[in-house]
Amino acid sequence: MSRKRKKTAEFRYYRMPEKRTIIALLGEKWQQNYGRNIDYLHFHNFLEIGYCYEGRGSMILGTEEYLFRGGEFTVIPKNYLHTTNSEPGNISTWEYLFVDVEQLLRKLVSGAPGYVDQMIQAINQKAVFAKGNEMPYLAELLKRILDTMREGKMFYLEEAEGMMLAFLSEIARKNIAFFDQPGGGVREEARMNNLIYRSLDYISDHYHERMKVSDIAAQIHISETHFRRVFSQCMGMSPLEYINLVRIQSACEYLRKTDEPIATIAGKCGYFTSSTFNRNFQKIMGMAPEEWKKRPENYEQQILQFNVRSEEGW
């Protein structure tokens, strides 16, 4: 029996400038027909907040689909699969904020670390799709943050961070209230999704170390077998495939930006034998690391050969 073909997903990552916790994607570039010629979901390395000014289409968040018509906003945790699709021929106008939630909260929230961790967990419990007239306070606050980032007046970053703290605090409260409602089915699904997102965070922090799938399962307190099954269902790939993808992406960054020996780079990315590194690099990038380093302009084309794609922003 042939193996079931895995779904395609794409990892789109953004670089946060030093000492910043918010970046904004604003202006005419984000007036477009979203989803054209794209049939896969993607996820980011930061929390994404989007505001739709006008347009028509659908938003897929995990396994749920929502229709937008203008005046909606979304709050999507990092590593949460999603996509936006405009109706054929329709130009939709969105603007986005990407937020390093952990850094922002640890910078602005006083109290014990466990208190901040509770806020982070609440914010990341679920994705939010809301019409502006359903949550007018949050919609208006979000537009104020976008305008503040757009205008760039003196002390605008400090002002934006303060408003973002208020925005995220309200999101955390609403998420906690949602999961306190009667009915364990939704709560259990959200709990498992949250465990997967925690595992992605753990992999991001520890991919350069010796790490087994059983180590990750132990960190989120579920059995290895159950973790493998749930992770594969959620991400469309096995935990080991995802670990290797993150490691090879990191190796590409080193190859592109440094002259360090390839064996040194392999060790920094969690590979402690050259043969394992070379085998995984060849599988994901379609060529040996030495060859790839000589042809960095082919980065995007080569990674498209793998069924999980990665590119910076979009």
Instruction: Read off the pLDDT band of 302 (50, 70, 90).
Output: very low
pLDDT of residue 9: 82
pLDDT by residue (tens digit) across 132-145?
999 999 999 999 99
pLDDT of residue 304: 36
pLDDT of residue 292: 86
Helices (H), the chain: 101-108, 113-123, 136-151, 156-179, 184-206, 213-219, 224-235, 239-257, 262-268, 274-285, 289-294, 299-303
This prediction has a pTM of 0.63
Q: Which residues pair with 254 in a beta bridge?
A: none
pLDDT by residue (tens digit) across 185-238?
455 666 677 788 788 888 988 999 999 999 999 998 899 999 999 888 877 889
pLDDT of residue 306: 42
Instruction: Read off the pLDDT band of 303 (50, 70, 90).
Output: very low
pLDDT of residue 255: 87
Angle between helices 156-179 and 101-108 in degrees, nearest 10 = 100
**In this structure, are residues 3 and 302 in contact, taking their beta carbons and an 8 Å threshold?**
no
CA distance linking residue 205 with residue 207, whole number of Å = 6
Q: What percent of the chain has pLDDT over 70?
A: 86
The amino acid at 30: W
Residues 210-233 as b/e (b if ≥16 CB within 10 A, e otherwise) read: ebebeebbebbebeeeebbebbee
Q: Answer with the residue of higher pLDDT: 313 or 138.
A: 138
**CB neighbours (10 Å) of residue 32?**
16
Element holding 10 (H helix, E strand)? strand 9-13
**Residue pointed to by tokens 């190859």:** 255
| Residue whose C-alpha is closest to residue 248's, from 277, 275, 205 | 277
Q: Mean pLDDT over residues 62-69, rounded?
A: 92
pLDDT of residue 25: 96
pLDDT by residue (tens digit) across 186-201?
556 666 777 887 888 8
Q: Answer with the residue of higher pLDDT: 61 or 179.
A: 61
pLDDT of residue 97: 98
